[in-house]
Structure formats: structure tokens, C-alpha cells
Amino acid sequence: MLVNGIAQHTIDAGDRGLAYGDGVYRTLECREGQPLLWDLHFSCLARDAASLGLPAPDADILLDEVRAESAGMRRAIAKIILTRGSGRRGYAIPDETVPARLVAAFEWPGYPPEWNRDGITARVCDLRLALQPRLAGIKHLNRLEQVLARSEWRDPSIREGLLLDSEGFVVEGTMSNLVLVRGGELLTPRLDRCGVNGCFLAWLAGVRHVRSERLTLAEVLAADEVWFGNSLAGIWPVAELDGRRWTAFPAAGELASRWAERR
Amino acid sequence: MLVNGIAQHTIDAGDRGLAYGDGVYRTLECREGQPLLWDLHFSCLARDAASLGLPAPDADILLDEVRAESAGMRRAIAKIILTRGSGRRGYAIPDETVPARLVAAFEWPGYPPEWNRDGITARVCDLRLALQPRLAGIKHLNRLEQVLARSEWRDPSIREGLLLDSEGFVVEGTMSNLVLVRGGELLTPRLDRCGVNGCFLAWLAGVRHVRSERLTLAEVLAADEVWFGNSLAGIWPVAELDGRRWTAFPAAGELASRWAERR
């Protein structure tokens, strides 16, 4: 792991990332030391950092660090964390803070390709996401809702949990975004009040028209196809959710080769 | 600083406290190496930890660590952070996680006693707290709302910001709880949907009857006295908020000696 470019596996215990979750992060795929969709990931990171008033790191330095950490691994996950850095105690942001930049690489999790081809079983989580427009869309370090939602099940045959907001609208998976196919159109929940605007959605918007709107669970269950998507898993079509089964995923299949070709 | 009893100033960069804010914390006052209201603080910490499914640390060990860190300081702030510890990447809580326990002591911030006696100027924050009943009351490490709210002002003559929830009810200060005095009765906002159930409130409930209810900003402005309270500041009566001024704080004055006597 690199912390501000220095190889170490610890961070300052006074870092505001720990104290308050005052930071943002990204996970992405690397192959042979080369991140995929780098420009998209960097722009998502920079956008989120700006939303919290954090300066973005230098793109070239960050890219070099991701390459260095993932070098020698055929396929790896890179995780980038950007925090406000260390400062004196208290919520007020000190003038003199210097952001901390962590880059780590992990072994590829080896999601079975059948999940992309045959679909997954998902569940509807009990936890409801709170509505906080000021933080909506940002992949920040305040992720207790996701931790609690993911702890609702231990059955390993359930691969993802669908999260609704406190008004009952669908938002996303615990670790992925949600896409519906309806009458040939791609729909995704609006992320203006909660949820994470994942880089997968930015990729998808570059290859297909995707419309975002307020969506209900009933609309999910009535959709022709339902997908969870993220930058590591790609597209997981849903084969079963809340008693509803889907057996064919032609729209997902059409996009699989585009996903495989991404660089 | 002690991390799991070992003197160091860093934590593992894979700690879930950093990755997800997966943990809880407390700040308290120490005098000559002795924490004040220790039993209350420990029970608040243990309650919050239990809410997240975290085992509480051993009370005796933790007390020894707080004493050791604050030893030699006439008056100090102790900060205790308890995280889920390090684990593999992903929201799911690994079976084998071992919580991380951080104890640090800081110099006393030296809040002027005039703030307790003459009151403070406060403001109403623009940020609205999201409603998340599952996390309400817990002093957890997801504190971006507080960071954003506190960053709304830089005028040092404003000592605290009042936070409302997304429905417009008053909740708390950015770093303190809120108490109203109305017709001789003490009232505090309900913390069942958002907010931090601070140890100050537990102390207050031990010396006075306090009723919690849904309260509006209009009720705050119409109150006989308005206080912000926390374990470090004690009671700060509000002298000015949103154009309303208060000049006498008899109920706060009555409690000042009780606060000074706490052990």
C-alpha cells in the first residue's frame, strides 16, 4: 500500500478519514498493472472530492501509484482512498490540512462468470437508505448503512441486496448500481437524494442511453431485466428477487462484449 | 495514543473504521489522569457498540488506558475510538475481525467560562440531518453531516450551529445536544430518527427530569432558555440565535454547580 506515495500499511490515527469518514474512495480493476477505465474513475473521484471540498490528487501521480501497486498481478482490484488528512480534534476543517492519498491493490475476487451469464439471486434489504441530498451520489467514507444492510444476510447463495430509500423507492445494491430494462429502454434510479453514483453508470451512459427516474419495487419486479452493476463485477443480471424469477437476459448479453472490451 | 494497549500513533490502513466509518467513539474530560463520569461514558460507549454489533471493550482495561494517556495533564480531553478492526475488502463483516481500540488524550481546549455564564451566539445550519432510525442516537464514525454543517461558518464569534432534520424539526448542535427550558420544564429533541445521544444528556437525566419530544425551531425561539450541552463544554446557554436574544439563564445557572461537582 502507498500512503501519499510512501510504502506503508498504516495511516495516522488522527486522520479525519477515521475520525469522521471525511473522505472519498474508488475501487477499480487493473490488468497487468494497468487500470481499466482510468479516465472515468479519476473523474468520478475528482467529482466526489470536489463535492466535499477536497482537492483532487494529481492525476499522473495517482495513475503511477495505481500502476505500481498492481504491477505483477495479472488481474487486481485497486482501491484509492482520499481523506481530508490529519488535523486537530473537532469537526471544523483546519486551514492547514493536507489530504491523505491511499492506494492499495488486492487479489482479484474471482466472481464466477456464471453470475454474469446466468444471473444471481438477490434480496430486498430491510434497512432503508436515509435521504441526504448533500451527500447523495458521492462515494464517501460514511458507509455504515451499507455495512448494516450487508450484515442482514449470511446465505452465500444471495449475491446482492437491493436497497430502498426511506420513502420506499429503489436506489441501488449494497455494492452496485441498479439498472432496469423495460421495453428496450434502460432505466436507473435517480441518485439525487441518496445512493452512490458508481463509475459503472458512467461507463454505461457512454455506450447506451440510460434514463434516471424515481422507481418503485413494483417497477423492478415488472421489468424485463434487472441488473446490478459495478466496476468490478460488470453486469450481474438478477435471476431471482423477492419471489420473481427471470430466465433470459438478452439486453445484458448484448452489453457483455462491450464490457469485456473496455480499456 | 494507545492502539489496543500499545503506544503508537498509527492504525492499520485496512481498518474498517477508515474504510466505512465502522465504529463508535466518545470524548470525555479527565482531571489529573482521572476521567469524569466514567461509568456514564463507558455505558454510552457500550450501548453504541452493541447497536452496531461490536463487542464492548473490557471496562477496566479501557479505564486504565484512559488514565495512562491522560496522566500528567491537569485537565485533558480523552478520546476513545472503537472500530470493527481490519478485515478483507467488502462491506460484509468477516467472522474473524478483532475490534480496534484507540485511546488518546489531548490538551484541554480552554473554552472560556464566560460562555457558560453569559451564553453564546449560535446559528441555524443550512444542512438538514437525514432521518436514519437505525443509526439514530449512536455516536458512530459516520460524521460527514457534522463536518459539512460545521464548515458552513468561519466567524469565530459563532460558537455552535443548530441542526434541523429533513422534516424541519430541531435535533441538536453540531457537537452538542440541545435543551430547552419552558415553564420550568426541561425539554430535549427526540433522537429516535437522527442525532447523537450524548453522555451529557445521560448526566442531565440523572439530576433533573428531562422530557424528549419533537420540537420545532419556533419552539426553540419561544423558549425561556436554550442550551447546548456536551461532556466537554458543560452547558452553553444561548444568548443569540436567529435574531432572538436571551439575557438571563437562571435555570442554567442553577445547574452549573451540579456540573462542576460531577466526578
Contacting residues for B99 by C-beta, under 8 A, at least 6 apart: B23, B54, B55, B57, B82, B83, B84, B85
Neighbours of A232 (CB within 10 A): 16
Neighbours of B7 (CB within 10 A): 9
Closest partner CB to B9 (pick from A12, A92, A131): A12
Average pLDDT over residues B73-81: 97
| pLDDT computed for residue B151 by the predictor | 97
The reply to whether residue A13 touches residue B52, judged by beta carbons under 8 angstroms, is no
B184: left (phi over 0), alpha (psi -120 to 50) or beta: left
The reply to whether residue B79 touches residue A89, judged by beta carbons under 8 angstroms, is yes
Please provide residue A3's backbone torsions phi and psi, each rounded to the nearest 5 degrees.
-120, 115
**Amino acid sitting at position B44:** C
Q: Give the single-character DSSP code of A259.
A: H
User: What digits encode the pLDDT tens for the residues A228-258?
Assistant: 999 999 999 999 999 999 999 999 999 999 9
Rounded Cα distance between A1 and A262, Å, is 26
The reply to whether residue B150 touches residue A22, judged by beta carbons under 8 angstroms, is no
Rounded Cα distance between A216 and B167, Å, is 22
Chain B residues within 8 A of A19 when measuring between CB atoms: 25, 81, 141, 143
User: In chain B, whose CA is at the least distance from the CA of A132?
Assistant: B130
Average pLDDT over residues A42-65: 97
Q: Which residue has the higher pLDDT, A47 or B88?
A: A47
- A158 contact B CB<8A: no
Q: In which band, very low, low, confident or very high, does the pLDDT at A88 lie, cut at 50, 70 and 90?
A: confident
pLDDT at A51 over 90: yes
Per residue in A146-179, is it b (16+ CB within 10 Å) or e — as a string?
A: bbbbbbebeeeeebbbbbbbbeebbbbbbbbbbb
User: What digits encode the pLDDT tens for the residues B130-180?
Assistant: 999 999 999 999 999 999 999 999 999 999 999 999 999 999 999 999 999
> Which CATH code is given to the segment(s) A2-107?
3.30.470.10
Closest chain B C-alpha to A161 CA, distance in angstroms? 11
**3-state SS assignment for residue A227:** strand
Percent of chain A at pLDDT exceeding 70: 100
Name the grid cell of B109: 481546549
| pLDDT computed for residue A234 by the predictor | 97
pLDDT at B109 over 90: no
The reply to whether residue B93 touches residue A150, judged by beta carbons under 8 angstroms, is yes
Rounded Cα distance between B188 and B115, Å, is 20
Rounded Cα distance between B97 and B88, Å, is 9
The reply to whether residue A90 touches residue B146, judged by beta carbons under 8 angstroms, is no
Rounded Cα distance between B175 and A169, Å, is 32
Chain B residues within 8 A of A27 when measuring between CB atoms: 89
From the list A218, A263, A262, A208, the residue with the least C-alpha distance to A242 is A218
Average pLDDT across chain A, whole number:
97
Q: Residue A129: enclosing H or E segment and its boundaries?
A: strand A120-129
Average pLDDT across chain B, whole number:
97
From the list B125, B119, B118, B121, the residue with the least C-alpha distance to B217 is B125
Name the grid cell of A143: 458507509
The reply to whether residue B22 touches residue A148, judged by beta carbons under 8 angstroms, is no
| pLDDT computed for residue A110 by the predictor | 85
**3-state SS assignment for residue A3:** strand
User: What digits encode the pLDDT tens for the residues A212-228?
Assistant: 999 999 999 999 999 99
pLDDT at A194 over 90: yes
pLDDT at B87 over 90: no
pLDDT at B54 over 90: yes
The reply to whether residue B20 touches residue A21, judged by beta carbons under 8 angstroms, is yes
- A134 contact B CB<8A: yes
Neighbours of A57 (CB within 10 A): 22
Interface of B with A in 68-87 (CB under 8 A): 77, 79, 81, 83-84
Chain A residues within 8 A of B148 when measuring between CB atoms: 52, 134-135
Closest partner CB to A130 (pick from B12, B15, B130): B130
Q: In which band, very low, low, confident or very high, does the pLDDT at A126 lie, cut at 50, 70 and 90?
A: very high
User: What digits encode the pLDDT tens for the residues B179-232?
Assistant: 999 999 999 999 999 999 999 999 999 999 999 999 999 999 999 999 999 999
The reply to whether residue A25 touches residue B19, judged by beta carbons under 8 angstroms, is yes
Neighbours of B242 (CB within 10 A): 12
Closest chain B C-alpha to A47 CA, distance in angstroms? 16
Average pLDDT over residues A121-147: 98
pLDDT at A161 over 90: yes
Tell me which of 3.40.50.970, 3.40.50.300, 3.40.462.20, 3.20.10.10 is the CATH number of domain A113-261: 3.20.10.10
User: What digits encode the pLDDT tens for the residues A107-119?
Assistant: 998 899 999 999 9
Q: In which band, very low, low, confident or very high, does the pLDDT at A62 lie, cut at 50, 70 and 90?
A: very high
- Domain ranges within chain B, ordered by starting residue: 2-107, 113-261
Closest chain A C-alpha to B17 CA, distance in angstroms? 6
ipTM of model: 0.97
HEC string of B38-85 equals HHHHHHHHHHHHHHCCCCCCCHHHHHHHHHHHHCCCCEEEEEEEEECC
The reply to whether residue B12 touches residue A9, judged by beta carbons under 8 angstroms, is yes
User: What digits encode the pLDDT tens for the residues B18-43?
Assistant: 999 999 999 999 999 999 999 999 99
Chain B residues within 8 A of A6 when measuring between CB atoms: none
| pLDDT computed for residue A237 by the predictor | 98
pLDDT at B96 over 90: no
**3-state SS assignment for residue B190:** coil
Grid coordinates 500528567 are at which residue? B72
pLDDT at A210 over 90: yes
Chain A residues within 8 A of B141 when measuring between CB atoms: 18-21, 144
Q: In which band, very low, low, confident or very high, does the pLDDT at B66 lie, cut at 50, 70 and 90?
A: very high
